[in-house]
Chains A and B, each alone.
Chain A
């Protein structure tokens, strides 16, 4: 028995070390493979070509790690050198990674993870809106669990001059189109908002164009603050708007503290949506 135990124990220890070593190696290989996929993912953007240093800076990996990942991807034709031979671009083999039976991402599925990120960051209600003529339409979002909530059912319509998202949409239009909108709605008061004041609207549009996002404080019984950020398409048109808002007293300090992060999240989303043209009647085959 003792002999058996004695002969057994060292082999177990040796097996343990070996299996630990194998597990560590396997984990190391998984990490390296994940890095390769992460490097490839960087090319899923409207920026066409990258150098090693740019990727290293962008991904926070060492140049050596990036170089090794690129080398593997080039060997498999998922990445190719550009005509100058100095930079790298997506390779043709990526075309093998598609499934003609699966639906392509839609605007809502592209935005969904970013809606969650903004909700996690702020804890307030997040809304995704698109334009439909003189209205913005609520198409997706997450409602806060805190008290004091804007309740928006899917498909809810708001005239453009009454909400921050609408001001942002108006700011993306040509000046003549904004004037035409104002002519159609001047003095109109809907959704409990004050009547449309052309001068005030133009002042807000100039501010939005300057800083790239919209805010609106609604002086209701519970003053509500909302902020809206643009989501761009391939042709530099507005795809839609991501907004977040809540009671001013609660949301204002959160908004001030998280503004740079909010801008970064929406810009990261636009990197993806810029691959597509905005959905419009007679527009592209998908999305």
Chain B
């Protein structure tokens, strides 16, 4: 293929993915003119991109109007990606045990580079529950699960993370204190404004070398309570499973240096 033609196709593909990401980021379905204004592309380029995306199931028309929302395909791709983490399926019985123990929604987040990624979860049995979305992504220091992972990474991880997020200020004492407290308590807590005096907890899930590869989060008022030792015991059994077959639970992205995994996180995708 001629280089010029190849470049045109690459540029066309780039536009298509830009349009797709714009549709994905929008809180409301958007039309051609809105998308072209935001991306600085011509209306016809955006229209062509949307036509191709619609034909392949990546976007769909919102209620037959000339506005677009994500189609089914991106959701399927995301689900397939989450399933690539062996820990997702293996942790499910343990998550279920924690739900039985507490009645609260329990989820599993894995480490992906310098991010935490929620890959699995089970709803609690209460009428009101926290509807955690799978696929939620946050830099490690910005979510409870992420901080539980960060506290159990080798020394120097916080400094590396800080360089990665290009944060000019050094990590604050609060983060260092939280990390130290977590290592001491073996889990992290986060106050719940809706349940004064109680906190949600996140427990690291470590590999054979003691480095966290994931975290189990119970997003309800479980701390303080006498249930904590039982919950830690369930987590310990999952860790035994990992130590027995370490290769099986290696992240599918472990071969990519953490600094090369860069994701654009819109505020809507930040873990709460």
Contact = CB atoms under 8 A, between A and B. Distances in A.
A275 B83 contact: yes
Nearest to A275: B79
Contacts of B190: none
Given A29-B8, A43-B80, A37 B16 contact: yes
A275 B76 contact: yes
Given A76-B17, A285-B121, A90 B9 contact: no
B101 interface: no
A97 B99 contact: no
Interface of B: 1, 5-6, 8-10, 12-14, 16-17, 20-21, 23-27, 48-49, 51-53, 55-58, 69-70, 72-81, 83-84, 89, 92, 96, 99, 105, 107, 112-113, 117, 120-123, 125, 131-137, 252-256, 261, 263-264, 268-269
A92 B253 contact: yes
B134 A33 contact: no
A285 B69 contact: no
A234 to B, nearest CB: 7
A186 interface: no
Contact of B77 (A82, A94, A283, A286): A94
B56 A34 contact: yes
Contacts of B263: 92-93, 95-96
A277 B99 CA distance: 17
Contacts of A7: none
B24 A99 contact: yes
Contact of B133 (A33, A282, A285): A285
Interface bin, chain A:
35 or more
Given A68-B1, A89-B84, A97 B13 contact: no
Contacts of B55: 34
A282 B123 CA distance: 6
Nearest to B129: A285
Contact of B122 (A45, A272, A285): A285
A64 B52 CA distance: 21
Given A28-B9, A41-B77, A48-B80, 13 more contacts: A32-B13, A36-B16, A41-B76, A72-B13, A76-B13, A83-B254, A92-B81, A92-B112, A96-B21, A102-B69, A104-B75, A282-B99, A283-B122
Interface string A92-113: 1111111111101100011000
A55 to B, nearest CB: 15
B269 A100 contact: yes
Contact of A89 (B57, B99, B252): B252
Contacts of A235: 89
Given A95-B135, A96-B24, A285-B133, A105 B75 contact: yes
B78 A37 contact: no
B60 to A, nearest CB: 10
B78 A94 contact: yes
A97 B21 contact: yes
B217 to A, nearest CB: 12
B83 A97 contact: no
B12 A98 contact: no
Contacts of B96: 282
A100 B131 CA distance: 11
Contacts of B121: 284-285
A138 interface: no
Contacts of B26: 99
Contacts of B89: 234-235
A83 B221 CA distance: 41
B107 to A, nearest CB: 7
A37 B83 contact: no
Contact of A98 (B27, B70, B252): B70
Most buried by A among B9, B112, B255: B9
A177 B127 CA distance: 30
A41 B56 contact: yes
Interface string A35-47: 0111011011110
